[in-house]
Amino acid sequence: MRVENEYGLPESRDLNKTDGFFGIARRDVLTPKGMVAIFTITNKDGSLVELSTLGAGINRIMVPDRDGRLTDVVLGYGNDADFLYDSPCAGKTPGRFANRIAKGEFILDGVKHVLTRNDGENSLHGGPDGFHNRIWDYEMLDRGVRFTYLSPEGEEGYPGNLRVSVTYRWNDDNSLDIGYEAETDAPTVVNLTNHAYFNLGGVGSGDILRHRLMINGSTRVESDLHDIPTGRILPVDGTPFDFRRPKEIGRDIFADFDNLRPGKGYNHYFFIDRLDRDEEVAPAASLYCDGSGIALDVETTMPGLMLYTGNWLAQSPAGRGGYTYSDHDGVAMECQFPPDAPNQDGFPSTVLRPGERYSRMIRYRFSRYGV
């Protein structure tokens, strides 16, 4: 039987372009929560990204290493259905509020809102049925896909009906642009990001401790043993958090400093240094793997990023090819607003009101060096 999508095209057919762009293919996967559409977008050089309606997520990115071999650089699972309710939130869009909100509650305009708690007494990534575990609607675009979701009033305790879109575009220069937009009919809070884990040596190549990382940030948020901000913004100078020049992730990861050792590594927020305070795209971080010769530059309009070094990946579902993940097999650089911002007066506001539009972006740009 011929199965067609809403564009009248058979499933998994390439949508050929005229500018060298190769096309988009779609396949469907049945999960316990329903049918999930997975899109593979291939550019003119054969590099590809795989996107999913489950959590508006990135399932895979393949780019060439210094020798031209396509390398799988994003952690994913051998079974596509395992992305549902996975603890690492691999590649997906957490929300309505990415990261943690202390004690699962906040006060907005004098009204206290109690959220679903799924991280001890705290709320993490919008709750257990946050955006990352929802199946989104989609629209196929030139070079990309736009995912949309309507989060109803009261979902996981959040106020307001929130309309959200996440738009991905995969370019011929091996850059992936991600645009986030949201509107609400009542005051609420919003914090969106992408939660991909990168290993530029290739999935299954081991840990990322020898990857070199640069973060364009001279200040970071202090956190307690439960990864909740204390409210203090501290300089990174002279500490294990100084990544202003590229250094190996593993150099200071187990230092007896703050909560690094009990947390098994970095799980910390850095403010991005900007020449101005507007919403222009700014460099956030760069990651290098000398083994593969692959580099990743991250740019964003977000105020900062969360560095998470995959400290608890050992219990993840099996990866592609049956690979068993270990702690630190991937690193996440989650461009976003600070954790617990609704409860911290000194942090940038995450409040969204009727008539306003939340609009932010992240760019992942892959390249080769040492060729």
Which tens digits make up the pLDDT trace of 104-153?
Answer: 999 999 999 999 999 999 999 999 999 999 999 999 999 999 999 999 99
240 belongs to a structural domain: yes
- Predicted confidence band at 15 (pLDDT cuts at 50, 70, 90)? very low
| pLDDT band at residue 22 using 50, 70 and 90 as cut-offs | confident
Report how many domains make up the chain. 1
> Looking at the domain assignment, is residue 332 inside a domain?
yes
Q: What is the mean pLDDT of residues 228-232?
A: 97
Q: What span, in angstroms and rounded, lies between the C-alpha atoms of 164 and 89?
A: 18
Neighbours of 371 (CB within 10 A): 10
DSSP, collapsed to helix, strand or coil, labels residue 16 as: coil
Please indicate, yes or no, if residue 314 is contained in any of the structural domains: yes
Considering the chain, what is the average pLDDT of its residues? 93
pLDDT tier for residue 278 given thresholds of 50, 70 and 90: low
pLDDT > 80? residue 17: no
Residue 77 pLDDT more than 70?
A: yes
Residue 287 lies in a domain: yes
- Model pLDDT, residue 279: 62
Residue 284 lies in a domain: yes
Residue 92 belongs to some domain of the structure = no
What pLDDT, in 10s, does the model give residues 195-225?
999 999 999 999 999 999 999 999 999 999 9
Tokens of 212: 């070199």
Indicate whether 23 belongs to any domain: no
- Looking at residue 211, what DSSP letter applies? S
pLDDT of residue 11: 35
Residue 73's closest CA among 58, 56, 93? 58
Domain that includes residue 238, residue range? 212-356+363-368
Contacts of 357 (CB under 8 A, 6+ apart): 181, 182, 183
Q: Are 169 and 177 in contact (CB under 8 A)?
A: yes
Residues 6+ apart with CB under 8 A from 312: 87, 88, 264, 327
Amino acid 281 reads V
Annotated catalytic residues are: 195, 334
How many other CB atoms sit within 10 Å of the CB of residue 356? 13
Dihedral sign from CA coordinates of 30, 35, 36, 42: positive
Question: Is residue 71 a part of any domain in this protein?
Answer: no
**Helical H runs in 280-332?**
none
Which amino acid is present at 90?
A: A
CA distance linking residue 295 with residue 154, whole number of Å? 42
Q: Read off the CATH number of the domain in which 326 is found.
A: 2.70.98.10
On whether the CB atoms of residues 157 and 164 are closer than 8 A, the answer is no
pLDDT at 274: 85
What does the alpha-carbon distance between residue 139 and residue 13 come to, in Å, rounded to a whole number?
A: 16
Are 313 and 319 contacting, i.e. CB atoms less than 8 angstroms apart? Answer: no
CB 365 within 8 A of CB 296: yes
Whether residue 5 has pLDDT greater than 70: no
Contact 77, 87 (CB under 8 A): no
**Contacts of 296 by beta carbon, 8 Å cutoff, 6+ apart:** 73, 198, 200, 286, 287, 288, 364, 365, 366
What residues form DSSP beta bridges with 21?
none
Q: Which residues pair with 165 in a beta bridge?
A: 148, 181
Q: pTM for this structure?
A: 0.93
Residue 371 predicted with pLDDT over 90: no
